[in-house]
Amino acid sequence: MTDVLHSSPPGVGAWDRVVRDLADDLAMDAVERDRAGAPPFDETARLRESGLLAALTVPPGTERDPSWEDACAVVRAIAVADSSVAELLARHHVLSRAGHFLGSPERAFPPGPRTGDRAWLLAGDLGAGSVAESARLRHGSLTITPIRGGYVLNGRRRLATGVPVADRLVLGAVCSATGDTRVVLVDPDVEGVETEPLPEHERAGQRAGGAGLVDFQDVTLGPEALLGVVEGDGYRRAPSAGLAPLATALMLVQVALGTAEGALAEARDAILAGHRVHLPDTLDDDPVGEPTEEADLLHTWGELATSLHVASTVADRAGAAMGAALRRGVRLTAADRAEVAVLVATTEAVVAEAVPRITARVTELADTPDLDRHWRNARLLIGRGSAARRFRDIGSHFLYPSRGVPADPG
């Protein structure tokens, strides 16, 4: 496998075959792995072997990184086959940009394995996105205390992916001395770190992603562990730091869209293989002739496919704006970030309406087992980012531009 971190980054075309082969491999046993809900040791090994883990790792202090648009395309293609693995890869990619978001790209990683099969898998939560996020952290999550020669980390954090398999954790913690959010890199194998999976009843979707809880009890960190500081509130911090939660939101949008695409593909295969179809009530206002069972099926399928296409188009526009903002680097302005924020909010609103409807409808259409996992996965991915909330944010932006758009997506 080509070492993409020390050569010009390939476009998606250079990875088409790798992505396609990995997606096909994951699709073969996706149902069985979803049922098992086991830690993603095997899935992580497949990512390493394919080279995609290294390909979607942004190296420190260089502009030769995978483009944001390419990373989105890879994540979505993997999500069509397995949304849990796609989320694992998506969050890893965003976290690998931590130093760039925080204005310290040369400190994205301390010396350590970064290339080839030995690429670190990152899990965590930057905790650097917004006033709301900072408030959440202050109410009992992680705290970091400066000491002579480093820091001490304490607290408990729930992570969406990678808890049992991560090589490093990237975490935002509130500094007990200043109140700022400090983002640090933590080895999960050091003394004082304990992990546990989420209880079975809390893993209705994304079951193979490795969600879990991490406890930190007086974990000592050296000064090199600090990746950056988010200073002040949401109005004073650097615009680049405000991109972090937007980037996470857009990556999860790609996973959700891939999940819907996978649901449509699986339902189509089931219907063509002769599985029973549950159709809606006859469309009495069919403009092209007498309604038939075939016409009803085609109408429903066309409606779902159109909804997915519209959501994808909106997401692509937001993704292009994010890519441009990332390439601006230190030249990014607050106005640039605000433009990205409103596009992300628009995308979240559209996807929050389209994807649950698509994944629920195909479950009703095709009488085949395990198709409902796509709906369960989509609901967990979209989570609290309801369309209604984002519509209000967008309305506020256009009616009262001076208020801006909240940095906390959904």
Same domain, 102 and 1: yes
Within a domain: 152? yes
Q: Is residue 144 part of a domain?
A: yes
The CATH number for 16's domain is 1.10.540.10
How much is the pTM?
0.87
pLDDT over 50 (residue 6): no
Confirm if 88 and 96 have CB atoms less than 8 A apart. no
| Residue 333 near residue 240 (C-beta atoms within 8 A) | no
Under the banding of pLDDT at 50, 70 and 90, the label for residue 331 is: confident
* pLDDT higher than threshold 50 for residue 34: yes
Are residues 131 and 184 part of one domain? yes
Note the pLDDT of residue 250.
Answer: 94
Report the pLDDT value the prediction gives residue 298, as an integer from 0 to 100.
Answer: 87
Answer whether residue 406 is part of any domain: no
Among residues 107, 136, 152, the one where a domain terminates is 107
pLDDT value of residue 121:
94
Same domain, 251 and 379: yes
Give the chain's domain count: 3
Three-state SS string over the chain comes to: CCCHHHCCCCCHHHHHHHHHHHHHHHHHCHHHHHHHCCCCHHHHHHHHHHCHHHHCCCCCCCCCCCCHHHHHHHHHHHHHHCHHHHHHHHHHHHHHCHHHHCCCHHHCCCCCCCCHHHCCCEEEECCCCCHHHHHHHHCCCEEEEEECCEEEEEEEEEECCCCCCCCEEEEEEEECCCCCEEEEEECCCCCCEEEEECCHHHCCCCCCCCCEEEEEEEEEECHHHEEEEECCCCCCCCCCCCHHHHHHHHHHHHHHHHHHHHHHHHHHHHHHCCCCECCCCCCCCCCCCCCCHHHHHHHHHHHHHHHHHHHHHHHHHHHHHHHHHHHHHHHCCHHHHHHHHHHHHHHHHHHHHHHHHHHHHHHHHECCCCCHHHHHHHHHHHCCCCHHHHHHHHHHHHHCHHHCCCCCCC
Region 183-196: mean pLDDT is 94
pLDDT at 279 exceeding the cut of 60: yes
Residue 11 lies in a domain: yes
Q: How far is CA 91 from the centre of its chain?
A: 5
What's 352's domain CATH number? 1.20.140.10
Question: Sorting pLDDT into bands at 50, 70 and 90, what band is 248?
Answer: very high
- In a domain? residue 300: yes
Q: Which of 179, 185, 172 is nearest to 141 (CA)?
A: 172
Give long-range contacts, CB 8 A cutoff, 24+ apart: 272-276.
Answer: 275/366, 275/367, 275/368, 276/367
Average pLDDT, the chain: 82
Of 49, 77, 107, at which residue does a domain stop? 107
Same domain, 295 and 332: yes
Predicted confidence band at 11 (pLDDT cuts at 50, 70, 90)? very low
Examine the fold and report which residue of 50, 83, 107 is the final residue of a domain before the chain moves on: 107
CATH number for the domain spanning 202: value is: 2.40.110.10
CA distance 110 to 222: 11
Using the predicted structure, report yes or no on whether residue 332 has a pLDDT greater than 90.
no
Q: Would residue 116 count as lying in a domain?
A: no
347 domain-assigned: yes
Tell me how crowded residue 110 is: count the other CB atoms within 10 A of its CB.
Answer: 13
Contact in structure between 69 and 29 (CB atoms under 8 Å): no
Radius of gyration for the alpha carbons in the chain, expressed in angstroms and rounded: 22
Give the C-alpha distances (Å, rounded to integers) separating 171 from 142, 186, 232, 304. Answer: 9, 8, 18, 38
Same domain? For 378 and 265 the reply is yes
Same domain, 253 and 353: yes
Q: Which of 366, 390, 362 is nearest to 376 (CA)?
A: 362
Q: Are residues 260 and 394 in the same domain?
A: yes
Based on the domain organization, do 254 and 216 belong to the same domain?
Answer: no
> How long a stretch of residues is the chain?
410
pLDDT value at 116 more than 50: no
With respect to residue 112, please indicate whether it lies within any of the assigned structural domains: no
Q: For residues 12 and 143, state if they share a domain.
A: no
Rounded to whole angstroms, the Cα distance separating 242 from 214 reads 25
Same-domain status, 269 and 220: no
Q: Could you tell me if 156 and 199 lie in one domain?
A: yes
Q: Residue 178's pLDDT is what? A: 87
pLDDT for 367 beyond 90 = no
Range of the structural domain that residue 260 is part of = 235-284+291-399
**Within this chain, do residues 385 and 244 fall inside the same structural domain, yes or no?**
yes
- What is the structure's pLDDT at 137? 39
